[in-house]
Chain A
């Protein structure tokens, strides 16, 4: 009942967010210098030829018309075609999305897999040397640029040691091991700051919870420290952890643009940068559209699970 209403309300909020986000991107593409028609027209275009191309692709229409038309088609599932290759944008995205999702998922698994134990370890030993070392490492890690880490990883583990391929991707279904080997370095590069951020947020949330009066009550009841930490402590930080995870997914999706460029991975991130450079408007629009929907769905999922975990949220 509550979850249903929450879902309906959140879905209604989604529409304006998508419209605003795609409109902003559309506007930015039009404001940046360069004309896609000039690119398409070849080396020595006559003005006449350029005008023909502009007309053919609807680039001579008013800005709002162009956007409206794009939105109308997108709403009907048609993300139109690439200006460069004339391939349908939706199939371009579908080809590349698995590579990106694999990196993001792997980075998230690493980020949570290392960040959660580190955060708990630091919180439980609050103030100790271990905690201080972890906290300083985390502050450093949060500030670590992922592309810098990526370049170090490539130099050491791909070029020098030859343990991992330096670039490219493989199909997860066709060659799963190969796909994981390709995804490993980019995922580690992305996971660095995720580990730090998750550990930091979890540490401070858990320290706060462990200092509350209800934890003192639990101790006064004679519960063991293990029980207090793993049952009561963790359930009380679960919502924080979930929120941070959602935030990390969004951040990772954004960071793929740079990381995929460094590792030359054919994913949606590199598709955006390549298409933007070449003024391939429909492709950029299409990828942004899909990513925005992905971010919104992530947030929605976070809210629904939070409502299920915390009785105060669902009744608010």
Chain B
């Protein structure tokens, strides 16, 4: 259907018919900073208990997408449009009071910098219990017991003693464990983890990723793992969303995306990965860089860096859904792109 890309695109992923309402459903999400659109037309679903990776290079709009879902972008400077539904309920435009019952309770979030993400002048016990008390009716003693359990669950030794520690007394890995304990304290339905291991020691990164998977599996929490590292996604997620220049360009099952990427950008990311590439083969980085929001190519946003560019790529590309996921590339049917193993 070569004509599809010409049509003004409205709803690329049709609302699923039937009872299977996704846990999180993002449609046509746009985020502008003082009028400059940084994210345009991002659409994806996350189902209950699903682990989904959101990948893309720096500046692709991954973090602002996560923050927009949480309603954490400053309303005055940032314009958010589109739709974000949690179990069918629209979150965009929800009054702050109602949104506060979603944050921390139904969606938890952890960030890249464990060193600065905890309040330095309160004990970690206080920082866990205040989250619990904000959302759940608990006595101080009950909250304390749950905080002990939460610390034990994230693998912190002597959790009862640790309650009275201050953040500066803990290592980076320990602090990220505490952050996970806080984010999961109220057993949310979805956890958004924005580059949770990037700032950590390589030796600790794997432990934290394992912990995230274990904890979310145990609590039945769906996971949206934001990272620039496809290797991390390969290890911990079932499905992957590739983002480029403020758009989702491909969604697929992780195994499929690794073996047979359908978007040239996903393929490029895979081939620049040392861990997944075939031994002996030279790593190929994608030439060029992500265009800034104020200088977007008018057609396919990846065109300036794409090896497969053709005249029709000069037109805006639509995200086309099918049984295997979705792709935003008019040539995806005719290209056989190399994956991680070939």
> Taking beta carbons and an 8 Å cutoff, which residues of A are in contact with B?
212-214, 216-225, 227, 231-232, 235-236, 238, 309-312, 315
Contact = CB atoms under 8 A, between A and B. Distances in A.
Given A222-B104, A223-B104, 4 more contacts: A214-B116, A214-B117, A222-B101, A227-B130
22 contacts: A213-B116, A214-B119, A216-B72, A216-B111, A217-B118, A217-B119, A217-B179, A219-B103, A220-B72, A220-B104, A220-B108, A220-B111, A221-B103, A222-B102, A222-B103, A222-B105, A222-B131, A223-B130, A224-B100, A309-B121, A310-B120, A312-B166
Interface string B167-183: 01000000000010011
B135 A310 contact: no
B109 interface: yes
B131 A311 contact: no
A310 B121 contact: yes
A238 B113 CA distance: 24
Interface of B is mostly: mixed
B70 interface: yes
Contacts of A224: 100, 134
Identify which of A217, A218, A232 gathers the most chain B CB atoms within 10 Å of its CB.
Answer: A217
Given A220-B70, A222-B131, A222-B135, A214 B120 contact: yes
Contacts of B72: 216, 219-220
A219 B109 CA distance: 10
B122 interface: yes
A11 to B, nearest CB: 27
Contacts of B183: 220-221
Interface string B89-131: 0000000100011111100110101001111111000000011
Interface of A is mostly: helix
A183 B185 CA distance: 55
Nearest to A310: B121
Nearest to A127: B76
A232 B167 CA distance: 14
Interface of B: 70, 72, 96, 100-105, 108-109, 111, 113, 116-122, 130-131, 134-135, 166, 168, 179, 182-183
Identify which of B72, B100, B113 gathers the most chain A CB atoms within 10 Å of its CB.
Answer: B100
Contacts of A212: 116
B120 A312 contact: yes
Given A220-B70, A223-B130, A235 B103 contact: no
Nearest to A232: B119
Contact of A311 (B70, B103, B166): B166
B78 to A, nearest CB: 14
Contacts of B179: 217
B102 to A, nearest CB: 7
Nearest to B102: A222
Nearest to B96: A225
Contacts of A216: 72, 111, 117
Nearest to A225: B96
A220 B185 CA distance: 13
A225 B117 CA distance: 17
Contact of B122 (A222, A225, A235): A235
B118 A236 contact: no
B109 A220 contact: yes
A238 B179 CA distance: 25
A217 B168 CA distance: 16
A109 B117 CA distance: 35
A33 B182 CA distance: 71
B121 A235 contact: yes
B268 to A, nearest CB: 31
A216 B119 CA distance: 10
A71 B29 CA distance: 76
A64 B179 CA distance: 64
Contacts of A232: 119, 121-122
Nearest to B107: A220
